[in-house]
A and B are shown apart, each in its own frame.
Chain A
Amino acid sequence: MSALAAAGGKELIAIDHLSKTYLARTGAVTALDDIDFSVGEGQFVAIVGPSGCGKSTLLKILAGLIPASQGEARLSGTPIAGPRRDIGVVFQSPVLFPWRTVLSNALLPVDVQRLGRVQLNAAAMDLLALVGLKGFEQRYPWELSGGMQQRVAMVRALIHNPAILLMDEPFGALDAMTREQMNVELQRIWLERRKTVLFITHSIAEAVFLADRVLVMTPRPGRIMDDVLVELPRPRNLEIMNTPAFGEYVQRIRVRFQATGGLDA
């Protein structure tokens, strides 16, 4: 049974023998080598790999920020040729605008894409409440903690109702406690909104906890060496991390890394 079929949905992201080569001073560097996978609608897919395995490069290609060298990536059947409005991106840092209030930051895509603040103001208020930021709408980003700022970034990625949410180590800069809490909340939001999510991380535990499916990447050149279907029941709580089933998934992925020379985290 293929992982895609297991999700039961139709194919939303298709990555077709995609490669990316950079020209560095020392010569050509292959960041991504023949990446080939697809993601079904509504699936939560985590990509786990050590630093420098090109996972952020992959996300930038999907976000339309940089072109691929070979192969192509398709979203809902159409090739990605540049930035698209049916994608929401959450970066490692919140990347908020300090001169905008929390609400106004959340509405940035609405302003850029001229979707109409009047229509989407209520949606933004709902989403902010969903991530636990009710009452903070008129605050400024610098009045918020790091975790709260990243929640604003999540709302901003969801406000224009994109088909796909791309997340590039969104909790990497947070402390361990906040990070676990954010994982639980992200799952809750995902269960409620059922977006297709591509989540990049270098934490195996985070990947297994969140995802339906974990793609394991090798470093230099970035290749996908394993595709693990995580069949743990939802909603998952933090205690699940102590169960043998969870441990087995983590162990399986860790063994793959050890075989290729270790993982930094």
Chain B
Amino acid sequence: MIRLPRFLLRLVLVLTVLVLWQGAVHLFAVPAFILPAPSTIGLALWRGFASGLYLDHLHVTVAETLLGFVFGSILALVLGTVIALSRRVEYFLYPFVVMFQSMPKVALAPLIIVWFGLGLTSKVAQAAVTAFFPLMVNTIAGLRSADEDRVALMRSLDASELQILTMLRVPSAMPFIMAGFEIAMVLSLIGAIVAEFVGAQKGLGVLIMSMTFTMDVAGQFSVLLILSLLGLLLNGIIVLVRKRLLFWDASQKLHADVPAEGGKL
């Protein structure tokens, strides 16, 4: 048996699927509004970019996602830290946390549009609200994960609680927080797109909706492709930062070779 490198096998598999897809569409004369051929999708993609239409919408979605990620993360880190440090705050916030946790955050989108309007703010708010929860949970778990012996060591050195926080608890929490960032980034993109579906003037979500009305299924596929690549890129940035920051984390090295794809919604 010929032993091909694994990445080559992967590539061959992808190409085979595309060729079969193309062949099947032509063979069975599938209408383009049901399932367009890969070549048609490619053409739609090229046209979209050539006309500047896609970029126009893409940068809006990217801005919403990143801003939502930043605000959601700040909220999650601050709230998570406060809760992790004070059992009392945790006790009083707990009912709100539980209620918020069990609610699908995307269901807030119509309300958020009413509150914040059709502009950028509502998308950022939705992205932030969608993204913040898992990061907050990870921040709490991470800050409480500090090894008891290390805490005892810091105390024996007469360290203040603030020093224990900054010199021990925060570094100990970083693996949890980075994992939280990864999830938050993906969720920000979801939040932004859903809010765009509900009400917006620009963005890839808006583009998909308008393509639905014109039955431009090939166009929709091409936008989905962009969204998928965008998600990969954003996730890749976080993974890169994580590897840089968490060089010391043994658990990191174990799954460093396995890409973080899959498992993410």
Contacts and interface: CB of A to CB of B under 8 A. Distances in A.
- The dominant DSSP class at the B interface is helix
Given A99-B248, A140-B248, A112 B154 contact: yes
B157 A109 contact: yes
Interface string B227-255: 00000000000000000000011100000
A38 to B, nearest CB: 22
Interface size class of A (residues with CB under 8 A): 20 to 34
Contact of A108 (B157, B171, B249): B157
B24 interface: no
B214 interface: no
Interface string A90-134: 010101011100000000110111000000000000000000000
A251 B250 CA distance: 45
B107 interface: no
Interface stretch (B44-52, B145-153, B190-198): B145-153
Given A91-B153, A97-B171, A85 B158 contact: yes
A28 to B, nearest CB: 24
A78 B37 CA distance: 85
Contacts of B248: 98-99, 140, 142
Contacts of A63: 156
Interface in A129-146: 140, 142
Contacts, number: 54
A20 to B, nearest CB: 16
Contacts of B249: 98
Interface string B193-209: 00000000000000000
Interface in A48-77: 60, 63-65
Interface residues of B, number: 19
B88 interface: no
A158 interface: no
**Which residue, of A84, A95, A140, has the highest number of chain B Cβ atoms within 10 A?**
A95
Given A140-B248, A142-B248, A65 B156 contact: yes
Contact of A112 (B149, B158, B171): B158
A95 B158 contact: no
**Which residue, of B150, B157, B159, B171, has the highest number of chain A Cβ atoms within 10 A?**
B157
Contact of B156 (A87, A97, A111, A142): A87
A60 B149 CA distance: 12
A91 B149 contact: yes
A65 B155 contact: yes
A149 to B, nearest CB: 13
Interface in B162-176: 163, 167-168, 171, 174
Contacts of B159: 83, 112
A136 B148 CA distance: 27
B156 A89 contact: yes
Given A83-B156, A99-B171, A112 B150 contact: no
24 contacts: A64-B158, A65-B152, A82-B158, A83-B155, A83-B157, A83-B158, A85-B157, A85-B158, A87-B156, A89-B153, A91-B152, A95-B149, A95-B150, A97-B171, A98-B249, A99-B171, A99-B174, A99-B248, A108-B157, A108-B167, A112-B158, A112-B159, A113-B158, A140-B248
Interface of A: 60, 63-65, 82-85, 87, 89, 91, 93, 95, 97-99, 108-109, 111-113, 140, 142
Interface of B: 147, 149-150, 152-159, 163, 167-168, 171, 174, 248-250
